[in-house]
A and B are shown apart, each in its own frame.
Chain A
């Protein structure tokens, strides 16, 4: 029988363009954390922002260097949300599942500098430890089922738009979606009156794993999309109080968004669409 007081540790991973990062992105983390804590069953121990690589080829996507820097500036005074540039430093575009797997693996096999090592309890309190935890050795786990509480879970944090993008042909691989919801889990933030529940209902895969899809309602209408931010900037309009001050200052100093930058990758096929089209040909 599991210890009911033991909470499952959760790491929230947000993948996206962050072009640029906005207060809305940052809010997603706060909302998700509050949600998990309110259930009494989970403890959120870390938040990770993983900006997509330039090879994604989305229209208007500026250099990953800038996007990572802005995200870092934005999370400077957060004590639990950080930025990871592993995904953005890859030369090719990576499927989201691979990023999830990478971070999950990283949690299981921490390096000495990874402070999460100390957060992973090996046994229940009161029992003798079978093995002394050694900071320098990877903690070996066999066949971890989802009911073992001792390993932190990495869940994909997203908005309803990402969830519903599962329905866009050739954007996601079916087996990837399955593995994401089955082995990891989704935390989807959406506003009241959204169509997410209907979308889940209409998908057999999502429905089957709906216990691993956490829907969080956002009660404050917060529509600060990066697209609108870039539009405002092109028009010389203020973006203050929609993005952290440091991000606004950085954008202004480096003159990041312009009609030219918005034209980047115009006419280029998005990497996942390109990849899945050629995969299916093979």
Chain B
């Protein structure tokens, strides 16, 4: 009986990760479980991509720290890793470009594996090698996010229309929502999202665990405990480097978010 081959899938999460929390990592676990249950996918990798400092979000600490903390947190994961490419770019990079980059990287990797396999003697190839080589199914890369992320598509000047389209058409979304929120509604309210809803996977999170990084920073500034919400190694790192303070929280205060600055049309004063 031939095993039905699943499409290899890579999950990419973009965000501030300021700092990384147990909830961020849960998103990956939930998404993977859901996608496996569809029977169509095999999740081969999870990538966390912390945003560039140039994003200019209030309270955003240096990418160096955010990357280091994510690395510590993901030390014990055998499939999720943090990637610094986005944070290392000279300026803030649109999400679609980050998706394109990682997709191209995965193709490049697949190509070099094929080259490698061609040169290998048949006897050296493992069964696993053979399967992935022969079936050569192109991997898919999907953007992992929370329901609030879907909502931001509506924020004026935050996203370019053509980017939203490319994200849902070419890549796809895996959107985790908590009980009580209704992402299906946002989708129905948007023509482009509705058109590509087959490429938007909605995952319900029944075990509520809303650890907002903002509240974590708030707690840290006040000397309150965040143990069991954030990995111990990250807590130690934060303490050691004294990362979150009242001062760090004021960073970029008053600045406009970079994407809003770039998209440069007059902002409707009636909008918040």
Chain A residues close to B by CB (< 8 Å)? 23-24, 26-27, 30-31, 33-34, 77-78, 219-225, 228-229, 232, 236-238, 240-242, 244-245
Contacts and interface: CB of A to CB of B under 8 A. Distances in A.
A238 B33 contact: yes
A26 B209 CA distance: 14
B207 A228 contact: yes
Contacts of B228: 23-24, 26-27, 30, 244
Contacts of A244: 228
Interface residues of B, number: 25
Interface string B211-228: 110010000000011111
Nearest to B33: A237
B229 A27 contact: yes
Contacts of A220: 210-212, 215, 229
Contacts of A237: 33
Interface in B15-73: 22-23, 25-26, 29-30, 32-33
Nearest to B73: A241
Contacts of A232: 207
Contacts of B22: 23, 241-242
6 contacts: A23-B229, A26-B227, A220-B211, A238-B30, A241-B29, A242-B22
A223 B208 contact: yes
Interface of B: 22-23, 25-26, 29-30, 32-33, 76-77, 206-212, 215, 224-229, 232
A240 B227 contact: no
A220 B226 CA distance: 10
Nearest to B227: A30
B269 to A, nearest CB: 33
B206 A228 contact: yes
A228 B205 CA distance: 11
A241 B207 contact: no
A237 B30 CA distance: 8
B215 A238 contact: no
Contacts of A223: 207-209
A80 B35 CA distance: 40
Contact of A242 (B26, B33, B76, B226): B26
Contacts of B32: 238
A52 B227 CA distance: 25
B74 to A, nearest CB: 11
A80 to B, nearest CB: 11
A33 B223 CA distance: 12
B208 A240 contact: no
B214 to A, nearest CB: 11
A222 B226 CA distance: 13
Given A30-B225, A223-B207, 5 more contacts: A34-B225, A223-B209, A241-B25, A241-B26, A242-B209
Contacts of A34: 224-225
Contacts of B226: 30
Nearest to A225: B207
What 10 pairs across the A-B complex have the smallest Cβ distances? Answer: A223-B208, A30-B225, A238-B29, A241-B22, A23-B228, A26-B228, A221-B210, A241-B25, A34-B224, A241-B26
A237 B36 CA distance: 10
B211 A77 contact: no
A221 B224 contact: no
B217 to A, nearest CB: 13
Contacts of B77: 240
Contact of B25 (A221, A224, A229, A240): A240
A77 B207 contact: no
A227 to B, nearest CB: 10
Contacts of A225: 207
Contacts of B211: 220, 222
Contacts of B215: 219-220
Given A77-B232, A242-B26, A224 B209 contact: yes
